[in-house]
Structure 1
């Protein structure tokens, strides 16, 4: 069966349809299919940037040393500027340009190439990023952390955890975001402390990070954020609570409070979270929002009522 799938992947890499090729690239990377190198190198030259990005990622996952010159070509990097090009691609958020300019590759393809090169030749960029983490300039620290997170690098995480307590809120926010994306469990204590940060953006990012890490220790602090003074923090906290797979009373009570929030987005997120958790005890409170004046909230209430009524009839997991 596995061998048949590998054969299918190799054959699909030679197809014309970019959607098929992209899927084959993803599977080749997930399976570490070294025999796919030729097809992946061909896909790296595909006109669709989505295919280029997945091909680059897969080449990194299979550790293809033969792909190094091709990946460098995506970055348009010479020996002299390779490190700088990789740093730029690694720190790029991809938000500045939806499409590439001129003959430049798409930001997502460049970043994927940088990640792949870092997997194959990690010393090229990581040394520079680690050196930048030793600085005390907020902008430089932020770029270094973003670069390491984008490269999925295993290094520098202890320093990032330390930066959760940095005096600059922008640094704290970036550290929380990067550690959350990396699902770094050693950051848990620092992230829990940021739930009470004076900066609303830091609190929001801490909630998002706790959502990524999904440790039970985060349930109580996330529940407390349902009483935060900022509606966006409350909304994000509701989403995070809905992903915990727990029906602890403190959690359900917090989400139930969210149903009466003055912000429609918070009410909607709380309804969705209760549906995700199949918290049948909140059925009546959710049903009350069928009369909500915001159409999106009322629609979500209908979905939640359906989910919770089914949960009453057929509970599917314990709340321990």
Structure 2
């Protein structure tokens, strides 16, 4: 076969093009050819082979890509990491988990990113260990792994990260992962998150409080409607809607006249969820809003209140 002979050509560029051509017609029986090309002396060939293996998932491909995470060339490492992130089979986790403690941060990060999507029990131990990693990006991936697995025994550790971690993105991820709780044990951490210096963390904490429908957060969510960032106010408004407590209505009504249409829309939806008739006059006055999405939200809210 002419294509196979090109894969053995002395010119690396010829081999690279052969990998590209083979990718266009790739079948399962071609996977060993791509795996073999992962060890090609030319970096460009290794990179294309790593990309080609995105469509395959067997032990040889997964192991070969994992080994390529330590390649000398950054582009090759990135291609291998990307293909690993597309894995779907839970059984692949057993091959990746040992790499989660690799001495190179790039490897740990790439492997945890891949494990996140697999939702495999084998990921729990390496993810718990990685919560204490020195690299913030790796701690974020570890949080995501445990969140995707809905691993509730990790809640105390996640709560500590949500309040104390030095990296704001770790705190944000942990605040989101606390949404896997089924009780109010995470309330102190989320309330602390509403006062975090980073608005992204405050936004995430407000969102999670709504998901958990923690009634004891009412006062703090009402206070968050005055946050200096509209994104936080928006999430606080939606979470107050989920709580369905009429006590929030007076604090929500002023947001219906906010300059930002998204905030007006979400506030209208929240008032509809609460279902208190005291909001009707303000909602009816907004029926001619300049933004069509706001008008739609207002119609929905008025109908909801009418039904309740």
Q: Contact 2:246 / 2:276 at 8 angstroms: preserved in 1? A: yes
Aligned counterpart, 1:178: 177
Alignment of 1:63-102 (within 5 A): 74-75=89-90, 77=92, 80-81=95-96, 83-84=98-99, 91-92=113-114
Alignment of 1:106-255 (within 5 A): 111=117, 114-115=118-119, 117-118=120-121, 124-165=122-163, 166-183=165-182, 185-248=184-247, 251-255=248-252
TM-score by length of 1: 0.60
Q: Contact 2:155 / 2:181 at 8 angstroms: preserved in 1? A: no
Gaps of 5+ in 2: 1-86, 101-107
Which secondary structure state, in structure 1, belongs to the residue aligned with residue 269 of structure 2?
helix
CA distance in structure 1 between the partners assigned to 2:90 and 2:304 by the alignment: 48
Aligned counterpart, 1:260: 257
CA distance in structure 2 between the partners assigned to 1:267 and 1:79 by the alignment: 48
- Post-superposition offset of 1:183: 4.7
Q: Contact 2:178 / 2:208 at 8 angstroms: preserved in 1? A: yes
- Post-superposition offset of 1:90: 6.2
CA distance in structure 2 between the partners assigned to 1:174 and 1:309 by the alignment: 38
Q: Contact 1:181 / 1:212 at 8 angstroms: preserved in 2? A: no
TM-score by length of 2: 0.62
Alignment of 1:1-20 (within 5 A): none
RMSD: 2.8
Which secondary structure state, in structure 1, belongs to the residue aligned with residue 92 of structure 2?
coil
In the alignment, which of 282, 297, 301 is matched to residue 300 of structure 1?
A: 297
- Post-superposition offset of 1:276: 1.1
- Post-superposition offset of 1:152: 1.7
User: Larger % of helix: which?
Assistant: 2
* Structure showing greater Rg: 2
Aligned counterpart, 1:280: 277
Assess, with a 3 A threshold, how the Cα gap between structure 1 residues 191 and 80 changes in structure 2: closer, same or farther: closer
- Post-superposition offset of 1:200: 1.1
Gaps of 5+ in 1: 1-71, 93-106, 119-123, 312-320
Assess, with a 3 A threshold, how the Cα gap between structure 1 residues 281 and 199 changes in structure 2: closer, same or farther: same
Which secondary structure state, in structure 1, belongs to the residue aligned with residue 224 of structure 2?
helix
**Alignment size in residue pairs:** 214
CA distance in structure 1 between the partners assigned to 2:264 and 2:227 by the alignment: 14
CA distance in structure 2 between the partners assigned to 1:73 and 1:267 by the alignment: 40
Q: Contact 1:177 / 1:205 at 8 angstroms: preserved in 2? A: yes
- Post-superposition offset of 1:292: 1.3
CA distance in structure 2 between the partners assigned to 1:78 and 1:138 by the alignment: 22
Tell me whether 156-165 or 140-149 shows the greater mean CA deviation: 156-165
> Which string of whole-angstrom CA distances, capped at 9 and with x for unpartnered residues, describes residues 66-94 of structure 1?
xxxxxx992573865455499967645xx
Q: Contact 2:97 / 2:111 at 8 angstroms: preserved in 1? A: no
> Which string of whole-angstrom CA distances, capped at 9 and with x for unpartnered residues, describes residues 113-153 of structure 1?
x33x41xxxxx332211211123321121111111111222
